[in-house]
Amino acid sequence: MAIDKPYKKVPGTTIFDADMASLGFHLNQFCMSLMKAPNREKFKQNEQAYLDQWPMSDEQKAAVLARDYNKMISLGGNIYFLAKIFSSDGISFQAAASTMTGMTQAEYAQMMLSGGRAPDSSNTLKKDN
Amino acid sequence: MAIDKPYKKVPGTTIFDADMASLGFHLNQFCMSLMKAPNREKFKQNEQAYLDQWPMSDEQKAAVLARDYNKMISLGGNIYFLAKIFSSDGISFQAAASTMTGMTQAEYAQMMLSGGRAPDSSNTLKKDN
Amino acid sequence: MAKINAGIATSHVPAIGAAIDNGLTENEYWKPLFDGYEFAKTWMKAQKPDVILLVYNDHATAFDLNLVPTFAIATGAEFKPADEGWGPRPVPNVMGYPKLAAHIAQSVIQDDFDLTVVNTLDVDHGLTVPLSLMFGQPEQWPCRVIPIAVNVVLYPTPSGQRCYNLGKALRKAVESFDEDLNVQIWGTGGMSHQLQGPRAGLINKEFDNAFLDKIVSEPAALAKTPHLEYINLAGSEGIELIMWLIMRGALNDQVDVKKRFYHVPASNTAVGHLVLENK
Amino acid sequence: MAKINAGIATSHVPAIGAAIDNGLTENEYWKPLFDGYEFAKTWMKAQKPDVILLVYNDHATAFDLNLVPTFAIATGAEFKPADEGWGPRPVPNVMGYPKLAAHIAQSVIQDDFDLTVVNTLDVDHGLTVPLSLMFGQPEQWPCRVIPIAVNVVLYPTPSGQRCYNLGKALRKAVESFDEDLNVQIWGTGGMSHQLQGPRAGLINKEFDNAFLDKIVSEPAALAKTPHLEYINLAGSEGIELIMWLIMRGALNDQVDVKKRFYHVPASNTAVGHLVLENK
Ligand SMILES: [Fe+3]
Ligand SMILES: [Fe+3]
């Protein structure tokens, strides 16, 4: 497509555009179902059986079971939808975010306390990109 | 309010604006419920009881029971919503429209066959209004 | 490159759908109307569009008063005919084109049109009646359809000028999509009609015919027509004609009129129909 | 005449809401943050706004992928705090202002903003956390609130320029409403943060502080910042800052800065806050 997508090049970042939304439609709608307590119960009782009710790919289901958030994002998951999974698990946004960074939760928390991840040439695009 | 509403002056015509929509919210949402067959059944079995489930005014309920479409419109009903009532009754759009005009159904049908209601100075605004 | 090559305008009266579904197209009341669409049906077979951008309005079917988008584009893969209260029309599901629809959404939102993006959408007579008029009763619709829904039920609707400008933005969006596609745009609804109140049954042949003239030859001027003029002269539901301006805005300034048809009545409504090709 | 007299900007991090709801505002982690809002709480008691236009975004709560409005205005009478997956926040229902909201919708749609009009809407932390920050924990919120929801989740979001222009249209709409009302506009979300991927935790103090400067002194230039710059420099969720531009567009070109506050971190996010009065 002729529309430029320069945001695809931002390091360590996936922008949730229409292509990703199309890929992740059922994954994200599964996440929305977890906003209802009875559904959270069913999911906890048998995650695989619950997931099998949704027309998701096996790869998407495996990523959910493994709580591999980077993988889920690469398969069209959006973090605000995926938040319903880690909320069901009783895990905070910060703990969940840390799992995507290759840091331990303690290391990540310390980084945030120290002012967060600073932008530098390894994690941002140069002006002329 | 300072926004001009010149459409209020068009003869024999109610424009469904936000004020009307606010007035008719529950009346119109009741109509939407009739798009489901089981609800149509319940409505037919006991119209008053079905209507009493909705926070509508007594005047709105009475207008529905009387199938007084002009009255329903004056109370915030919109014709595309009200259509769910006369569809439930098995009545055509043309038959329902005729009831609002003071003509018999046959007279109205004949008017349409003859080219419809012609615009004239009694039923349209003048240019400078 | 994808390209919009032609535009269709047509009324979308529910009774026309019922006449088709119930095999009444040859009777005395309906035959003159359906005869007016014979040209388009034949022409369409030669055109073989890949995709139709189908501009229509929902009539309190998919959208109720809980949520009314001014403009919505449907990016889903498949859309079911809606149950409008007497069972869904016996017509095929409508197959969307998610990739092109998403591309269009991205392009026009970046051009300052504040679209609502819809995935799941049951489509009512506003969308399916025009398909039946152009394609008859096939097992499957012969091409993909991207529904574009316009609010014409809850006042204020978008202005005619806004609609015309959206048409131009849609054209730009289509032309920046790099698959080779023959695209049509259809504008539906109208012509003059009023379905409510003591003035129900209003038909304005003079207004309608002037509209049919101007949308071909001076669309930019026509786009400036204020809402009040539609409501006053073409009836409260005549405001649907603004959807034709979206279609027209997506075509060249100069077009060939392949067919023009006008008929009164279909139920409560005047029926208008145009087949336009880019010059 | 109704008039917009002041604007508030603030981040709306869910963890801030949890800290308030769980009585943690005095602990070591949270106290420095809540201290930054003491000025606004006192100032607000003197201001006594009648209505707040509260610009926020829904975070996959009321809107899922079935339907994503670019801009939505809520015309309902009352809005419940949403259950975001761990039960609704223990805060009062939000009382709307249907008459003014409908008036605004009518005005800005006629000014070519293609709003979605929403009636029923459960409001998530994006809307309720700012209310808690400004008003604490009252039995009832002290004024009416009109929710204005902006899509910042599904790309493309509206441009910064479009947001700034919407602010100007909102101001015009408010000023044409003929009740005497003291109206505020709040822009929420931001500042720099990224909640996803290997780059999660990005905080850009330089970007944030420049944004805090420019939104006061050169908003028209700031409005031209492209999406990519937010995403690249302020993190994928830093794009929420475009909502501050709607607030700013609704104020005078010249404003007094009554309070400016910046703090890192709240959970994964940099927190920014401004209290602006029209000069
Ligand atoms: Fe229609
Ligand atoms: Fe947010």
pLDDT digits (tens, 9 = 90+) for A44-53: 999 999 999 9
Cβ distance of D65 and A28 shorter than 8 Å: yes
Cβ distance of D195 and A97 shorter than 8 Å: yes
Identify the pLDDT of residue B93.
92
Identify the pLDDT of residue B4.
77
Query: Identity (one letter) of the amino acid at C101?
Result: A
On chain C, the residues whose CB falls within 8 A of the CB of D65 are: 119
Choose among C59, C155, C204: nearest Cβ to B80.
C59
CA distance D87 to D70: 27
* C-alpha pair distances (Å), D229 with each of A20, A85, B112, C273, D222: 21, 30, 60, 48, 11
For chains B and C, having 3+ Cβ pairs within 8 Å is answered yes
What number is the average pLDDT over the span C27-42? Answer: 98
What number is the average pLDDT over the span D17-41? Answer: 97
On chain D, the residues whose CB falls within 8 A of the CB of C159 are: 110, 112
Cβ distance of C102 and A18 shorter than 8 Å: yes
pLDDT per position as a tens digit, A16-44: 998 899 999 999 999 999 999 899 999 99
CB contact set of A33 (below 8 Å; sequence gap of 6+): A39
On chain B, the residues whose CB falls within 8 A of the CB of C227 are: 7
Min distance D203 CA to chain C CA atoms (Å): 27
**DSSP class per residue in B75-124:** TT--HHHHHHHHHHTT--HHHHHHTTTTS-HHHHHHHHHTT-BPP-TTTS
Confidence of residue D200 (pLDDT cuts 50, 70, 90): very high
Identify the pLDDT of residue A129.
43
What number is the average pLDDT over the span D2-18? Answer: 97
The vertex-C185 CA angle with C179 and C191, nearest 5°, equals: 175
What number is the average pLDDT over the span C39-54? Answer: 98
Cβ distance of D106 and B17 shorter than 8 Å: yes
Min distance B18 CA to chain D CA atoms (Å): 6
What number is the average pLDDT over the span D45-62? Answer: 97
Identify the pLDDT of residue A4.
77
Question: If you measure from the C-alpha of residue D51 to the centroid of ligand 1, how many angstroms do you get, rounded to a whole number?
Answer: 37
Task: Choose the weakest-confidence range: A118-127, C129-138, C219-228, D173-182.
Answer: A118-127
CA distance D245 to D243: 5
Is C200's Cβ below 8 Å from some Cβ in B?
A: yes
Q: Mutating which of C199, C236, C262 best tests the B interface, going by the most B Cβ atoms within 10 A?
A: C199
CA distance A85 to A64: 8
Confidence of residue D85 (pLDDT cuts 50, 70, 90): confident
Cβ-based neighbour number of residue C90 at 10 Å? 11
For chains B and D, having 3+ Cβ pairs within 8 Å is answered yes
Identify the pLDDT of residue A5.
87
Cβ distance of B18 and D106 shorter than 8 Å: yes
Q: Which chains touch A (3 or more CB pairs under 8 A)?
A: C, D
Question: If you measure from the C-alpha of residue C67 to the centroid of ligand 2, how many angstroms do you get, rounded to a whole number?
Answer: 22
For chains B and A, having 3+ Cβ pairs within 8 Å is answered no
On chain D, the residues whose CB falls within 8 A of the CB of A35 are: 61, 83-85
Name the pTM for this structure. Answer: 0.96
What number is the average pLDDT over the span D59-64? Answer: 96
Q: Provide φ and ψ at C72, rounded to 5°.
A: -130, 140
Asked if the model's pLDDT at residue B128 lies above 70, the reply is no
The vertex-D278 CA angle with D273 and D279, nearest 5°, equals: 120
Cβ distance of D201 and A32 shorter than 8 Å: no
Identify the pLDDT of residue D214.
98
SS (H, E, C) chain C: CEEEEEEEEECCCHHHHHHHHCCCCCCCCCHHHHHCCHHHHHHHHHHCCCEEEEEECCCCCCCCCCEEECEEEECCCEECECCCCCCCCCCCCEECCHHHHHHHHHHHHHCCCCCEEECCCCECHHHHHHHHHHHCCCCCCCCEEEEEEECCCCCCCCCHHHHHHHHHHHHHHHHCCCCCEEEEEEEECCCCECCCCCCCCECCHHHHHHHHHHHHHCHHHHCCCCHHHHHHHHCCCHHHHHHHHHHHHCCCCCEEEEEEEEEEEECCEEEEEEEEEEC
What number is the average pLDDT over the span C128-143? Answer: 98
Identify the pLDDT of residue A126.
82
Confirm whether C193 is a catalytic residue.
yes
Read off the tokens for D137: 């924990």
CA distance C17 to D101: 38
> Counting ligands in written order, which one lies closest to the CA of residue D239?
2
What number is the average pLDDT over the span B1-8? Answer: 77
Cβ distance of D116 and C68 shorter than 8 Å: yes
Identify the H or E element spanning D247: helix D242-249
Percent of chain B whose predicted confidence (pLDDT) is above 90:
90
pLDDT per position as a tens digit, D107-133: 999 999 999 999 999 999 999 999 999
Q: Tell me the pLDDT of chain B averaged across its residues.
A: 94
